[in-house]
């Protein structure tokens, strides 16, 4: 029975020490990366047995993730010698380092026993500080978006000038290729992204969401650029991109409120129809301008057609390089899972769409075009959805997935381009001849 009595006496000695409380005001703080901010900390119900042992006890502020946020060194330890009453209050400075969530807690450290204990009110919301570290708005982000809009508009003017209306009519009269692309894009890619998300990120719903939003996005404008660079069927590419973006008005909400509900804890979500409408308009208006140039300024149209490939290649390089520069901070979040997801989604999209096209007897150029249209997603739309739907910093954290997809997407296409260059393959001429025969 002696050991029971010893435990009883020890409990009586420790219990008064445990009866103290911590309160942060506010209990949640949002601060920017590489910036600092302050909160009010109050320690209350501090027993005399603590305040009398100035050399033994001290209060320490601890971050559960020092990579994201830490308490300033001068505030990290509160000596008991500063406590003249049973309550202490002061300002605590918090330093933000990187995107994410970090919790700051107060521990009473016993130097004699080398142990730390939490406050009595550890279950209350204000007993710990939730730090949300977000990325500051930068001028370079707006410059990047503006540059992309301007360059894409110029490229689409060139596309409009290069369109062959007779070939387009033939495609619409026998829409096998567009139908294949429509199904693989609006049905195949969402299902593929959902399955990959569960397989690659089984413990991270946030990353699953980032990959799923990328998969349900419509075809990206870069698909037309790559179709031009790889000598695919540019007419089919532009038609499929346009159809995909118009279909996104219905397909994205359907997927969000079906499979998306399995990822989200809540079902309600605002769908940015205006953003999709703006994208469609930005796609179609420059095309009409190019078609007008083709109709009324044929000499200028011929010059634009000759410049289509070099301008398209420059645009691809610009997007990839500038995207890496402006989002370089996201590379700290990269893991092998994120890299695999970024490569697997477009890579499998290319493969499945190409196989489907070949099984349905599409020629080489059209099969390549359908594969390109399916595998290239509008990662800008995906990023917009994530940033307008999720709170910060989750919004920025999940965008690492579409950024990874955007970076990895060109790699298989670069391989195809090098293969074509080495073997001197030009599929565009064959495709044009076959379509003329259809008409």
Residue 97 sits in the same domain as residue 219: no
How many structural domains does the chain have? Answer: 2
Residue 239 pLDDT > 50, yes or no?
Answer: yes
**Least confident range of 37-51, 102-116, 226-240, 354-368:** 226-240
Residue 33 sits in the same domain as residue 171: no
**Least confident range of 131-140, 164-173, 363-372, 387-396:** 164-173
Residue 101 sits in the same domain as residue 168: no
Residue 439 pLDDT > 50, yes or no?
Answer: no
Residue 381 pLDDT > 60, yes or no?
Answer: yes
Residue 145 sits in the same domain as residue 44: no
Which of 111, 134, 157 is the last residue in one of the domains? 134
Summarised one tens digit per residue, pLDDT across range 295-307 is 898 888 888 877 7
Q: Return the structure tokens found at 375.
A: 């595998």
Residue 229 sits in the same domain as residue 334: yes
389: region left, alpha or beta (phi > 0 left; psi from -120 to 50 alpha):
alpha
Q: What is the CATH number of the domain that holds 125?
A: 2.60.40.3450
Which of 87, 106, 134 is the last residue in one of the domains? 134
Give the pLDDT score at 287.
76
Q: What's the mean pLDDT when you consider all of the chain? A: 78
Task: Give residue 88's domain range.
Answer: 18-134
Question: Does residue 7 belong to any structural domain of this protein?
Answer: no
CA distance 87 to 431: 81
Give the pLDDT score at 40.
94
Residue 342 sits in the same domain as residue 246: yes
Residue 279 pLDDT > 70, yes or no?
Answer: no
Q: What share of the chain is helix, strand, coil (3-state, %, to 5)?
A: 65, 15, 20
Question: Does residue 417 belong to any structural domain of this protein?
Answer: yes
Give the number of other CB atoms < 10 A from CB of residue 284. Answer: 16
Between 345 and 307, the more confident residue is 345
Residue 102 sits in the same domain as residue 150: no
Between 31 and 238, the more confident residue is 31
Question: Does residue 183 belong to any structural domain of this protein?
Answer: yes
Residue 191 pLDDT > 90, yes or no?
Answer: yes
Q: What is the CATH number of the domain that holds 413?
A: 1.20.1530.20
Give the pLDDT score at 431.
43
Name the one residue in this structure whose structure tokens are 């997809």. 405
Question: Does residue 10 belong to any structural domain of this protein?
Answer: no
Give the pLDDT score at 283.
63
Share above pLDDT 70 across residues of the chain, in percent, rounded to a whole number: 77
Question: Does residue 2 belong to any structural domain of this protein?
Answer: no
Helix (H) / strand (E) element for 172: namely helix 165-173
Question: Sheet harboring 36-44: ordered strands across?
Answer: 21-25, 36-44, 88-96, 69-71
Between 396 and 303, the more confident residue is 303
Sequence-separated (6 or more) residues with CB below 8 Å from residue 73: none
Question: Does residue 221 belong to any structural domain of this protein?
Answer: yes
Mean pLDDT on 199-216: 86
Residue 101 sits in the same domain as residue 151: no
Summarised one tens digit per residue, pLDDT across range 83-108 is 778 888 899 999 998 888 899 999 98
- Displacement of CA 276 from its chain's centroid (Å): 17
Contact between 411 and 340 (Cβ < 8 Å): no
Question: Does residue 60 belong to any structural domain of this protein?
Answer: yes
Which of 100, 134, 168 is the last residue in one of the domains? 134
Residue 353 pLDDT > 80, yes or no?
Answer: yes
Mean pLDDT on 142-166: 73
Residue 56 sits in the same domain as residue 164: no
Residue 401 sits in the same domain as residue 271: yes
Residue 247 sits in the same domain as residue 158: yes
Bridge partners for 103 per DSSP:
130
How many residues does this entry show for the chain? 439
Give the pLDDT score at 305.
74
Summarised one tens digit per residue, pLDDT across range 33-47 is 889 999 999 998 888
Name the one residue in this structure whose structure tokens are 């910060």. 392
CA distance 20 to 282: 61
Of 7-21, 164-178, 266-280, 338-352, give the range with the top mean pLDDT. Answer: 338-352
**Least confident range of 241-255, 342-356, 409-423:** 241-255
Summarised one tens digit per residue, pLDDT across range 405-433 is 888 888 888 888 888 778 766 554 444 44
Give the number of other CB atoms < 10 A from CB of residue 161. Answer: 25
Question: Does residue 277 belong to any structural domain of this protein?
Answer: yes
Residue 252 sits in the same domain as residue 146: yes
């Amino acid at each position: 029975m002696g050991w029971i009595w010893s435990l009883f006496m020890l409990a009586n000695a420790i219990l008064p020490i445990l009866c103290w409380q911590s309160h942060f005001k506010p209990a949640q703080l949002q601060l920017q990366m590489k910036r600092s901010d302050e909160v009010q900390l109050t320690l209350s119900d501090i027993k005399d047995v603590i305040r009398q042992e100035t050399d033994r006890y001290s209060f320490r502020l601890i971050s559960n993730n020092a990579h994201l946020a830490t308490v300033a060194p001068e505030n990290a330890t509160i000596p008991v010698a500063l406590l003249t009453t049973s309550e202490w209050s002061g300002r605590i400075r918090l330093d933000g380092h990187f995107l994410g969530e970090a919790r700051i807690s107060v521990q009473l450290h016993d130097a004699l026993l080398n142990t730390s204990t939490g406050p009595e009110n550890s279950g209350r919301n204000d007993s710990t500080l939730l730090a949300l570290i977000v990325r500051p708005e930068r001028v370079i982000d707006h410059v990047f978006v503006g540059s992309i809009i301007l360059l894409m508009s110029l490229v689409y003017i060139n596309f409009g000038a290069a369109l062959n209306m007779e070939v387009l009519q033939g495609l619409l009269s026998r829409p096998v290729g567009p139908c294949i692309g429509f199904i693989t894009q609006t049905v195949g890619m969402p299902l593929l992204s959902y399955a990959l998300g569960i397989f690659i990120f089984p413990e991270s719903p946030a990353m699953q969401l980032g990959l799923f939003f990328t998969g349900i996005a419509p075809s990206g404008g870069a698909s037309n650029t790559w179709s031009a660079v790889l000598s695919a069927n540019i007419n089919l590419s532009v038609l499929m991109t346009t159809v995909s973006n118009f279909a996104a008005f219905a397909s994205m909400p359907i997927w969000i409120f079906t499979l998306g509900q399995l990822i989200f804890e809540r079902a309600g979500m605002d769908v940015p129809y205006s953003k999709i409408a703006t994208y469609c308009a930005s796609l179609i208006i420059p095309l009409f301008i190019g078609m007008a140039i083709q109709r009324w300024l044929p000499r200028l149209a011929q010059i634009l057609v000759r410049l289509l490939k070099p301008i398209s290649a420059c645009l691809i390089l610009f997007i990839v390089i500038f995207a890496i520069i402006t989002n370089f901070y996201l590379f700290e979040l990269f893991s092998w899972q994120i890299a695999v997801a970024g490569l697997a989604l477009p890579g499998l999209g290319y493969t499945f769409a190409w196989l489907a096209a070949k099984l349905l007897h599409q020629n080489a150029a059209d099969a390549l075009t359908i594969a390109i249209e399916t595998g290239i997603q509008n990662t800008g739309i995906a990023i917009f959805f994530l940033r307008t739907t999720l709170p910060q910093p989750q919004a920025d954290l999940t965008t690492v997935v579409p950024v990874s997809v955007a970076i990895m997407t060109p790699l298989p296409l670069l391989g195809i381009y090098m293969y074509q260059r080495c073997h001197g393959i030009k599929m565009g001429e064959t495709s044009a001849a076959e379509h003329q025969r259809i008409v």
